[in-house]
Amino acid sequence: MTELLDVVDEQNNIVGVALEKDIYEQRLNHRIVHVILLNDKGELCLQQLSAHVKYCPGHWTSSATGTVKQGEKYDDAAKRILTEQLGIYAQPIKLTETPYDHYKMRKFMNIYRALDNGPIKFSNKSLVTRWFSIPDIKDMVQKNQLIHPELAHVMDVLYK
The amino acid that residue 133 corresponds to is S
Q: Which residues does 126 contact at the CB level (< 8 Å), separation at least 6?
A: 50
> Whole-angstrom Cα distance, residue 153 to residue 96?
12
Domain 4-158 CATH superfamily = Nucleoside Triphosphate Pyrophosphohydrolase (3.90.79.10)
Residue 69: beta bridge partners? 5
Q: Where are the domains of the chain?
A: 4-158
Radius of gyration of the chain (CA): 15
Going by C-alpha positions, the residue among 57, 62, 160 that lies closest to residue 113 is 62
User: What's the number of CA atoms in the CB half-sphere (13 Å) around residue 139?
Assistant: 5
Give the global pTM. 0.92
pLDDT in tens, 140-154: 999 988 999 999 999
pLDDT category at 10 given cuts 50, 70, 90 is very high
**Is the Cβ–Cβ distance between 92 and 79 less than 8 Å?**
yes
pLDDT in tens, 25-67: 999 999 999 999 999 999 999 999 888 888 888 899 999 999 9
**Is the Cβ–Cβ distance between 108 and 8 less than 8 Å?**
yes
Q: Which residues does 120 contact at the CB level (< 8 Å), separation at least 6?
A: 45, 86, 87, 88, 129
